[in-house]
Chains A and B, each alone.
Chain A
Amino acid sequence: SQTIHQWPATLVQPVGSPLSLECTVEGTSNPNLYWYRQAAGRGLQLLFYSVGIGQISSEVPQNLSASRPQDRQFILSSKKLLLSDSGFYLCAWGLEGGWGDTQYFGPGTRLTVL
């Protein structure tokens, strides 16, 4: 069966510091991968998605970036964090990759920027 991991589970970072969040998927090959952010009291906002190694699409312009160095690894990064980057970050994967594909979510990372 497929599983998705995210780490760290929680992170507290000062403003202006760098960020690296990691997501890995097991038990499948060539999944679509997604990064979402969930701010307090809001739904999920798609940040990035990837259909393959090195292929990244950005949905929202911001100071965050994403990379996919391996088939089942997805990394969310920032060079300098802002206060507004605080939130709950969720990674998800989809197998079929097409329109309407079910997305399965990881346990998330709680990021607090002080």
Chain B
Amino acid sequence: AQTVTQSQPEMSVQEAETVTLSCTYDTSESNYYLFWYKQPPSRQMILVIRQEAYKQQNATENRFSVNFQKAAKSFSLKISDSQLGDTAMYFCAFWPYGGSQGNLIFGKGTKLSVKP
């Protein structure tokens, strides 16, 4: 079975500091997409960043960047200059090639608290 593992159920960081959330996945596929979603207390899921497995360059979106290590099947999210508004659940998700139209597989999430 293809799975996504987020080994850190909870993390905290001081405002303005940098934090890295880990994610590993298990698959025999060589082509796939990876995503990080953020779910703030309002509960609406928001796309943070998207990575295509065949692109070696790590994706970045403003203060958010990923460290994609394909051989290690690792996809960590780095948040720089953390802000109070970054407090949320963060979900790593994985969509393997050849999966069904809806085959987006989510991890169980990491709860991030940004402290003033």
Contact B44 A106 (CB under 8 A): yes
A46 adjacent to chain B (CB < 8 Å): yes
Which of A43, A48, A97, A99 lies in contact with B97, CB distance below 8 A?
A99
Total inter-chain residue pairs, C-beta < 8 Å: 63
Q: Given A43-B91, A107-B44, are A34 and B102 also a contact pair (CB < 8 Å)?
A: yes
CB distance from B86 to the nearest CB of A (A): 18
Contact A100 B33 (CB under 8 A): yes
CB-defined contacts of B100 to chain A, threshold 8 Å: 49, 57, 59
B75 adjacent to chain A (CB < 8 Å): no
A23 adjacent to chain B (CB < 8 Å): no
Contact A41 B44 (CB under 8 A): no
Range class of the A interface residue count: 20 to 34
Range class of the B interface residue count: 20 to 34
**Closest Cβ neighbor of B43 among chain A residues:** A108
CB-defined contacts of A107 to chain B, threshold 8 Å: 42-44
Contact A105 B45 (CB under 8 A): yes
Q: How far is the CA of A59 from the CA of B103 in the complex (A)?
A: 9
Contact B46 A105 (CB under 8 A): yes
CB-defined contacts of A67 to chain B, threshold 8 Å: none
Q: Which of B11-19, B63-71, B105-113 contacts A (4 or more CB under 8 A)?
A: B105-113
A112 adjacent to chain B (CB < 8 Å): no
The interface of chain A, by Cβ under 8 A from chain B, is 32, 34, 41-46, 48-49, 51, 57, 59, 88, 90, 92, 97-100, 102-108, 110
